[in-house]
Amino acid sequence: MSDLHTLSVKALAESLRSKQVSAVEVATRFLARTGGNPHNAFLDIDSEVTLAQARASDAKLASGTAGPLEGVPVAHKDVFVTRDFVTTAGSKILQGYRSPFDATVVQRLAQAGMVTVGKLNCDEFAMGSANENSAYGAVTNPWDITRVPGGSSGGSAAAVAARLVPAATGTDTGGSIRQPASFCGITGIKPTYGRASRYGMIAYASSLDQAGPMARSAEDCALLLSPMCGPDIDRDSTSLNMPGEDFSASLNGSIEGLRIGVPKEFFGEGLDADVRAALDSALREYEKLGAKLVPISLPLTELSIPVYYIIAPAEASSNLSRFDGVKFGHRAKDYVDLVDMYKKTRAEGFGNEVKRRIMTGAYVLSHGYYDAYYLQAQKIRRMIADDFQNAFKKCDVIAGPVAPSVAWKLGENANDPVADYLADIFTLPASLAGLPGMSLPAGFGENNMPVGMQLIGNYFKEAQLLNTAHRLQQATDFHLRQPQGI
Ligand code: GLN
């Protein structure tokens, strides 16, 4: 099968089940595609490990004990800890680190039968919007290698877009699944906070971090999201005690009469004309499919930037205190005493953006500033969540842009971190509210770069979001287009 690497997750699973191909053949093809590490998407590959998993899959396929995704390749963002691959979170401080266990998400996808191809590049500790904050170099966008793939799950998005893997995991704290999916022309979903276990996901901002799948279509995302979700209450204190769900089962619903809320704040001045044009025509397509567009307002949208960039660094400053050179990872060589060892280890191990966040976080939590910044931000966070509940009285799902522009040029914001923060404006509100959100290809903008549409649902409405996206993907072919030279 010469087109193996272009097959969807669904088609690969079927070909494997019907024995048209073996898991070893599939793994061999995808491993070959990762040779030379295109787009700098991978941080660790170990073909022996991958082939051993593929052989085990073939045995299960032969004995009739196969999981639903048996033999289908996947790669994991490098913030998920893995026993068989190095885990760095894109940071020098964890260079060469091997975890004694697998993250729950990794374990559950393996139980579903998926074969791990390797670990994917990302912004250091998932802090970034362009994947330029990785200590192991930037990732390039398969649609134009002079541009960023988005971040922080940039390696995941680039690998799926370049057909190096049919699907990948990502994490989304403030947009890191949705925005790179948008920039690379693929589909990604972040479930409701608490549905996917955070156990073994290296913490950035614990009250926001969520895992989710990135693949080419909503149909493929549903196949991965089903095993990824489900309770893990003994190991993750914020895991919801809610039974798992088969998200593929609901991909046949009509969207006749579906009320799609269009927030006016998402279509204001800051939105580039090419992105607006692509979204307008995608929204018209939804009308043709029977949906109704309803004007809504999310008045605090703008405040989500200062609120998020207070809360996320505050939590990060606490979470990252564990990287002290004592328990794991890098330790400075020359030091005079314990405190000096801490200082030198962290000075050497962390990159600039991580240091910036730790300093911001420590500042907003400090005595005298806590009330003015952190507490205030928490109050506004609640108001942002309330605004969504008001909006959902008028509509079933919310649609809008993922980002104000298509992928920007590598290095464009190198001296202006705030420019990257501002570009997160449309993804942050759903994150702060803990709502599920997704991005799906909705057209092309300037320089023929992909434009994603964001869909936000109410709590636990992942199935409805995926079905809404699936309907558009049945009517359009944006998700099937591929970068040149694939
Ligand atoms: N760009 C945002 C940040 O840097 C979001 C990152 C994320 O979702 N992990 O914090």
Pocket test for ligand 1, best of 176, 182, 310, 426 (most atoms within 8 A of CB): 176
> In degrees rounded to 5, what are phi and psi of residue 206?
-60, -30
Quick one: pLDDT at residue 107?
98
Phi-psi region of 362 (alpha: psi -120 to 50; beta: other; left: phi over 0): alpha
The pLDDT, as a whole number, for residue 153 is: 98
CA of residue 157 to ligand 1 center, whole Å: 15
Complete domains list, the chain, with CATH: 4-258 (3.90.1300.10)
CA 320 from chain centre, in angstroms, equals 20
Query: DSSP per residue over 360-420, as a string?
Result: HHHHHTSTTTTIIIIIHHHHHHHHHHHHHHHHTTT-SEEEEESSSSS--BTTTTTT-HHHH
CA of 351 to the centre of ligand 1 (A): 15
Q: How far is the CA of 151 from the centre of ligand 1 (A)?
A: 7
Q: Classify the phi-psi angles of 199: left when phi > 0, otherwise alpha if psi is within -120 to 50, otherwise beta.
A: beta
Q: Are 202 and 81 in contact (CB under 8 A)?
A: yes
CA–CA separation, 327 and 320 (whole Å): 12
- Residue 424 Cα: closest atom of ligand 1: 1
* Helices and strands of the chain, counted as H and E runs: 15, 11
Tell me the β-bridge partners of 168.
75, 214
- The helix (H) or strand (E) run that includes residue 226 is helix 218-228
**What are the pLDDT digits (tens) for 119-172?**
999 999 999 999 999 999 999 999 999 999 999 999 999 999 999 999 999 999
- N-terminal to C-terminal alpha carbon distance within the chain: 16
Cβ neighbours of 435 (radius 10 Å): 24
DSSP-derived 3-state class of residue 337: coil
Asked if residues 213 and 228 have their Cβ atoms less than 8 Å apart, the reply is yes
DSSP states along 140-161 = PBTTBTTB---SSSHHHHHHHH
In degrees rounded to 5, what are phi and psi of residue 54? Answer: -65, -40
Q: What is the pLDDT of residue 2?
A: 77
- Give all strands of the β-sheet with 437-444 in edge-to-edge order: 42-44, 115-120, 73-77, 167-172, 210-215, 187-190, 437-444, 450-457, 397-401, 259-263, 292-296
Low-confidence ranges of the chain (pLDDT < 50): none
d(CA 138, CA 428): 23
For residue 253, the model assigns a pLDDT of 85
Tokens 């190991």 sit at which residue?
A: 235
Which of 209, 174, 138, 182 lies closest to 421, judged by CA?
Answer: 174
Q: Which residues are marked as active site?
A: 77, 152, 176
Q: Of all atoms in ligand 1, which is nearest to the CA of residue 308?
A: 10
Residues with C-beta less than 6 Å from any ligand 1 atom: 126-129, 152, 172-176, 204, 312, 424
- Residue 289 and residue 262: Cα distance in Å, rounded? 16
Helix (H) or strand (E) holding 168: strand 167-172
Q: What is the pLDDT of residues 210-234, one digit of tens each?
A: 999 999 999 999 999 999 999 999 9
Query: From residue 339, how far is each of 316, 321, 325, 358 by CA, in Å?
Result: 20, 13, 11, 17
- Over the Cα atoms of the chain, what is R_g? 21
CB distance 238 to 193 below 8 Å: yes
What phi and psi, each to the nearest 5 degrees, are found at residue 263? -70, 130
Within 8 A by CB and 6+ apart from 109, the residues are 69, 74, 169, 224, 227, 228
Ligand 1 center from residue 26 Cα (angstroms): 33
